[in-house]
Structure 1
Amino acid sequence: MEIETPHGPGRVEIDEVTGPRFLLVLTHGSAGGVDAGDLLAVRDATTAIGGTVARVLQPFRMRGARAPGSAVKQDEAWEVLVAELRGRYPGLPLVQGGRSNGARVACRTAGAVGARAVVALAFPLHPPGKPERSRAAELRAAGVDVLVVNGDRDPFGVPDAADAARLVVLPGEGHDLGKDPARVGELVAGWLDATMRPQPPETGSG
């Protein structure tokens, strides 16, 4: 389905489950799409644990652009897309995430959309060869638990463990996380399964 935003329409592909535990909204990198191997692996593993998964093709990719342009406009469009999806699944806890540039968007907007957690795949810590231009502040700005999954051969760098609830660095993986996507899906589903369990009520001391 398509959802209109102030910056053009986005396209959403939804994989529903019966009696969903939560809604996971995923998106792509700058020049990629929602059929990236790691995103599909995360979808498959997440639906297996009871999560409904929505994969969002953002407006700039719908226009054929290979770069997102203004971060402000990208975030504005994303917030509209997620609000529409939340309205379709009222009461479901929200997790959002993506790969590369999509991970940045998910971190930047987590507070605005009311996400419970963020999944950041191949978070691009800095442009290749420019470690001084760190984007670690975007991870810290999420304000919720963030799972980061990166490869140890990623030219965009690897975030510090202190800036995420959990950091997993996969040996031999590059920025596309394409060597073993199923492993990426397993890691994400395992973390979400634990993170989204209902917390027991606190008992007072009386």
Structure 2
Amino acid sequence: MHSEIVETAAGEARITWHPAKDAHLVLALSHGAGGGIEARDLAALAAALPPRGVTVALVEQPWRVAGKKVAPAPKTLDTGWRDLWPALERPGLPVVAGGRSAGARVACRTAAELGACAVLALSFPLHPPGRPEKSRAEELLEAGVPVLVVQGGNDPFGRPAEFPDGAYELVEVESGDHGLSVPKRADISQEQALEIVTEAVAKWLDGVRQHSSQDHGVR
């Protein structure tokens, strides 16, 4: 594991690399508006995926690196992500854009223009809590690349049943909240919840890699 600072128009971003020995894919993951790369799902993926040939790059947006507590507007988040994207690219390796919550929205909004081969959306904030009329479904539906949504069954920002039909996949973490945390009374443990996340993502990434290899000749 190692980190690097990347200059962007929004300030200094930081990428923490969890490299795979024989990588066939790069998965870039950013955090949400209320936390950092220490989020349990991001940490679990960074631990589980490198042994399976996926290099994980955990991305801290400039506002987080600067120690600010409040995320800037979506336009500024997109600027930081666009500017650091070249640092995520590796010769011959497709890159999957992703993140949790606000980071998932950034990935969806920018994936097609940046050349991401797919998007991993962890806890996609379909709407603000209690405000289903303020839907952000358009960002998800218009990503322009294959998308996997991993959503908690009790996420106040959008439960799985609220998501519209579309050309994306969705995996539910039973009883999970927006942080994919499950209560002690749930039928599954927190460890089992994270295993659902890592196994679903690993399986989906295998399909993404095969598709990218066929389209672009990646081996």
TM-score by length of 2: 0.86
How far, CA to CA, are the matches of 1:170 and 1:182 in structure 2? 10
TM-score by length of 1: 0.91
1:43 to 21, 42, 46: 46
Q: Superposition pairs for residues 1-206 of structure 1, below 5 Å?
A: 1-86=4-89, 89-158=90-159, 160=163, 162-178=165-181, 179=190, 180-197=193-210, 198-199=213-214
Identity %: 46
Structure 1 stretches lacking a partner, 5+ long: 202-206
Structure 2 stretches lacking a partner, 5+ long: 182-189
SS in structure 2 opposite 1:174?
coil
How far, CA to CA, are the matches of 2:154 and 2:12 in structure 1? 35
Does the 8 Å CA contact 1:153/1:172 hold for their aligned counterparts?
Answer: yes
Q: Deviations over 1:4-32 (max 9, x none)?
A: 10110011110111221011100101021
Shift of 1:162: 2.1
* Count of equivalent residues: 199
How far, CA to CA, are the matches of 2:101 and 2:215 in structure 1? 34
- Name the aligned partner's letter for residue 160 of structure 1: F
Q: 141-150 or 173-182, which moves further after superposition?
A: 173-182
SS in structure 1 opposite 2:45?
helix
Q: Deviations over 1:92-149 (max 9, x none)?
A: 1010101111100110110121000000000000000000000001101210000001
CA RMSD of aligned residues (A): 1.7
Does the 8 Å CA contact 1:49/1:193 hold for their aligned counterparts?
Answer: no
How far, CA to CA, are the matches of 2:83 and 2:55 in structure 1? 19
Runs of 4+ in 1 over 4 A off after TM superposition: none
SS in structure 2 opposite 1:163?
coil
| CA 164–148 in structure 1, closer or farther in 2 if over 3 Å, else same | farther
